[in-house]
């Protein structure tokens, strides 16, 4: 088989770069290798993502036996933040008209967001990202000065400017046009023969798509809320089981995701403070100010939970406002009602007889006697003898025997 007869593999990546994206890229590289593909074309449109996932994708590029072509498309797409790193790491970088690349400043790219206020840490992250993208650009002979500016100054370029500035090599209208321009391109000591080559798309698996959807701040927040609702509902309604199980499962998943996504500890603290205020209000039945404080704390906690300067990990007000109202309603109506129900006096069973005053059917002493209560005859004992017909008060229920005492009132 000549190289002209060898296929070209392709995948499409859209949305945030996450661990699920890493799995998809690695599987696509293996599939392209097994197909003896000339190259793997990655059509890219992303606002950015996690630095750790980006590094893993770049490492997969470097280890790939198949040449990697990153194509920022379709028109209107962007390779921002992590997408800029990924495009610069490709063997061949291409863009469609009216696309953009850049703005790779490391805001919220990793778990270091927890130290957002630490200027030293921010400078270290910026310095590392700038050095890293410089090395990536130099490996493929691209404009390393601009790459550093993309990190340090959030510089961006249009497709035409990127081509003119030696940031990408090809400006292609569509995939067939890209194949024509790739034809004859020398990559890794051999030339591509892609003009007219068959394209073999490698579809994303349902499992990968599902995980891609899960790696979102909204999903992490929902898991956190389910954990709060479920565990507290189990304590306020003992024996329900299902809320508790769901809550603990959601808690484990939320803890796992929070180890990867950029969480702001101040936001977490405000959310936990809000839960404490809601619980105190529900348990004590205070004047309502604790609920007001809980609503305010919960709202600002969600607002601060992720870095709002980064569009990839940002909770919108359309999500925050309903979540705040639903959570407040949950604690005000459901949790408070559950605890009030637990504090109500028992209304059925033998315990309801305690405190009742009834006549003795027979003489009652420490050896025994008989009383008639709630339509049944009961054995009764009393430390103080009570004659037949005397009024006695029930003190306790022990199986089928009542402890009574002579009523002197």
Instruction: Give the residue-averaged pLDDT of 305-309.
Output: 64
Res 308 pLDDT > 70: no
Q: What is the DSSP string of 32-63?
A: HHHTT-S-EEEEEEBS-B-HHHHHHHHHHHHH
| Greatest alpha-carbon span in the chain | 116
In the chain, the percentage of residues whose pLDDT exceeds 70 is: 83
Q: Which fold has domain 3-210?
A: 2-enoyl-CoA Hydratase; Chain A, domain 1 (3.90.226)
Q: What angle do CA 97, 103, 108 make, to 5 degrees?
A: 135
Of residues 10 and 324, the one with the higher pLDDT is 10
Distance CA 6, CA 311 (A): 40
Q: What is the DSSP string of 150-178?
A: HHHS--EEEHHHHHHTTS-SEE-SSHHHH
| SS3 of residue 360 by DSSP | strand
SS (HEC) of 281-323: HHHHCCCCHHHHHHHHHHHHHHHHCCCCCCCCCCCCHHHHHHH
Provide the token pair at 186: 């020398």
Smallest CA-to-CA distance from 340 within 295, 281, 274, 294 is with 281
pLDDT grade for 113, boundaries at 50, 70 and 90: very low
Distance CA 225, CA 244 (A): 13
Per residue in 372-406, pLDDT tens? 887 788 899 998 888 888 888 888 888 888 898 88
Distance CA 406, CA 351 (A): 19
Per residue in 337-372, pLDDT tens? 555 555 555 555 666 778 888 888 899 888 889 988
Amino acid 289: pLDDT? 74
Distance CA 230, CA 117 (A): 33
Distance CA 408, CA 215 (A): 72
Smallest CA-to-CA distance from 359 within 409, 406, 401 is with 406
User: Which has the minimum average pLDDT: 75-89, 105-119, 246-260?
Assistant: 105-119
Distance CA 126, CA 152 (A): 7
For residue 391, report the phi and psi dihedrals to the nearest 5 degrees: -85, 130
pLDDT grade for 96, boundaries at 50, 70 and 90: very high
350-406 classified as CATH 3.40.50.300:
no
Domain residue spans of the chain: 3-210, 216-343, 350-406
Q: Which helix (H) or strand (E) holds 196?
A: none
Strand pairing report for 170-171 and 92-95: parallel
User: Which has the minimum average pLDDT: 97-101, 112-116, 161-165, 219-223?
Assistant: 112-116
Tokens 């008060």 correspond to 393
Mean confidence (pLDDT) of the chain: 83
Distance CA 21, CA 49 (A): 10
Distance CA 38, CA 8 (A): 6
pTM above 0.85, yes or no: no
Q: Is 152 exposed, middle or buried (CB count within 10 Å of its CB: 0-12, 13-18, 19+)?
A: middle
């Amino acid at each position: 088989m000549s190289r002209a007869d060898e296929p070209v593999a392709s995948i499409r990546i859209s949305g945030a770069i996450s661990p699920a994206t890493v799995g998809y890229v690695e599987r696509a590289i293996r599939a392209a290798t097994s197909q003896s593909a000339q190259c793997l074309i990655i059509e890219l449109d992303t606002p950015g993502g996690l630095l750790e996932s980006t590094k893993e994708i770049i490492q997969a590029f470097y280890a790939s036996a198949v040449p990697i072509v990153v194509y920022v498309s379709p028109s209107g797409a962007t390779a921002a933040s992590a997408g800029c790193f990924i495009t610069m790491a490709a063997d061949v970088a291409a863009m469609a008209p009216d696309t953009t690349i850049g703005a790779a400043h490391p805001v919220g790219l990793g778990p270091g967001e927890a130290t957002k206020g630490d200027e030293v840490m921010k400078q270290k992250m910026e310095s590392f990202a700038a050095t890293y993208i410089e090395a990536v650009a130099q490996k493929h002979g691209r404009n390393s000065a601009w790459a550093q500016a993309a990190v340090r100054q959030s510089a961006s370029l249009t497709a035409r400017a990127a081509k003119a500035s030696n940031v990408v090599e090809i400006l292609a209208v569509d995939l067939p046009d890209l194949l024509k321009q790739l034809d004859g391109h020398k990559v890794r000591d051999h030339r591509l023969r892609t003009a007219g080559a068959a394209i073999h798309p490698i579809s994303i698996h349902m499992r990968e798509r599902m995980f891609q959807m899960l790696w979102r701040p909204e999903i992490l927040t929902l898991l956190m809320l389910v954990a709060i609702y479920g565990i507290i509902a189990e304590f306020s309604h003992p024996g329900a089981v299902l809320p508790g199980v769901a809550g603990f499962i959601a808690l484990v998943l939320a803890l796992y995701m929070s180890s990867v996504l950029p969480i702001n500890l101040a936001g977490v603290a405000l959310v936990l403070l809000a839960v404490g205020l809601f619980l105190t209000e529900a348990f004590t039945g205070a004047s309502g100010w604790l609920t007001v404080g809980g609503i305010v704390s919960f709202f600002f906690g969600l607002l601060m939970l992720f870095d709002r300067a980064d569009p990839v990990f940002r909770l919108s007000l359309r999500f925050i406002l309903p979540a705040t109202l639903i959570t407040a309603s949950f604690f005000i109506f459901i949790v408070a009602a559950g605890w009030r129900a637990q504090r109500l006096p028992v209304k059925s069973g033998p315990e309801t007889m305690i405190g009742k005053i009834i006549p003795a059917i027979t003489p009652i002493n420490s050896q025994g006697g008989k009383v008639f209560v709630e339509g049944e005859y009961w054995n009764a004992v009393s430390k103080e003898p009570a004659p037949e017909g005397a009024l006695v008060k029930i003190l306790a229920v022990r199986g089928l025997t009542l402890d009574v005492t002579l009523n002197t009132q």
